[in-house]
Homo-oligomer: A and B are copies of this chain.
Amino acid sequence: MKKPLYLKLVSSLKSHIQKNMHKGQKLLGEREIAERFNVSRYTVRQALDELEKTGYIYKVHGKGTFVSEKSVPTALNEVYSFTEQMKSLGKVPETNLLEFKVFNSDKRLSSKLKINLGNKVIRLKFLRKADQVPMMIEKTYLPFAKFSTLTLNDLENNSLYSVMSKTFHQSIHLVSESIRACLISNQDADLLSVEHHSPCLEVNRTSYNKLQEPIEYTFCIARSDQFVYNYKYIHHDKK
């Protein structure tokens, strides 16, 4: 266990809050928590900051620290996960890998992934379903140089993001997305079992690691009658 002290505090506090406290209830003061756990106030503040960032608590200057609404902690500033979203909506998610191939990047992909034109990329195509209803088609492009040893087997029981971070040590730090509405192509309409010329949601996502290198470019088409894109984030005030 190389876990820092404050993260242990985070775990302790989190489980204590979930078990014994309700929304709006006031926590002990920072000084008192520090004394109880026999750590410095700085460490307590780090733990509370972490809990605030993940949406479990909020602090008010001069008043104290309080438990958040229970609804808040889910998927806060997280990369969108179809699987997690569907689970939270009480649906059973399912993902089929339709394609796994390596090819040379064209102009568009090389600029998205900031690699040289012609450098190899891995292309993954997923069909995602919820309660057996097809919901979205996802095409993901990875720079081959960073994921050259990726195999089908890696993706068998793990999400792409966990493989990227655990096996290849490429964690997502920054995400840039753009979303638009358009009419679905006939081919995609057939895959998603919707009528031709239906409206659909188109999501473009580029993810960067901490060194600001693109590690993923994803293009999604989602059927509009079933699928809603949800997310939450903590607004970062400019001071």
- Which residues of A are interface residues toward B (Cβ below 8 A)? 7, 23, 53-55, 58, 60, 68-69, 72, 76-79, 171-183, 199-201, 207, 210-212, 222, 224, 227-239
B201→A233 contact, CB < 8 A: no
Chain B CB count within 10 A is highest, among A7, A76, A199, A239, for: A199
- Residues of chain B lying within 8 A (CB to CB) of residue A237: 171, 173
- Residues of chain B lying within 8 A (CB to CB) of residue A183: 199
Q: How many Å lie between the Cα of A157 and that of B23 in the bound state?
A: 38
- Residues of chain B lying within 8 A (CB to CB) of residue A228: 178-180
Q: 16 new A-B pairs (CB below 8 Å) besides A173-B235, A175-B235?
A: A58-B173, A77-B77, A78-B235, A78-B236, A174-B234, A175-B232, A177-B230, A178-B228, A178-B231, A179-B229, A180-B229, A181-B200, A182-B224, A183-B199, A199-B199, A199-B200
Contact of A180 among B172, B224, B233 (CB under 8 A): B224
A234→B58 contact, CB < 8 A: no
- Residues of chain B lying within 8 A (CB to CB) of residue A7: 239
Given that A58-B211, A60-B210, A210-B60 are contacting pairs, would A199 and B181 also be in contact in the complex, using a CB cutoff of 8 Å? yes
Q: How many Å lie between the Cα of A206 and that of B72 in the bound state?
A: 12
- Residues of chain B lying within 8 A (CB to CB) of residue A175: 232-235
Q: How many Å lie between the Cα of A200 and that of B181 in the bound state?
A: 6
- Residues of chain B lying within 8 A (CB to CB) of residue A239: 7
Shortest Cβ distance from A74 into chain B, in angstroms?
10
- Residues of chain B lying within 8 A (CB to CB) of residue A231: 176-178
- Residues of chain B lying within 8 A (CB to CB) of residue A60: 210-211
A68→B212 contact, CB < 8 A: yes
Q: How many Å lie between the Cα of A235 and that of B224 in the bound state?
A: 26
Q: How many Å lie between the Cα of A227 and that of B239 in the bound state?
A: 30
Closest to A227 in B: B180
Q: How many Å lie between the Cα of A46 and that of B199 in the bound state?
A: 46
Shortest Cβ distance from A143 into chain B, in angstroms?
16
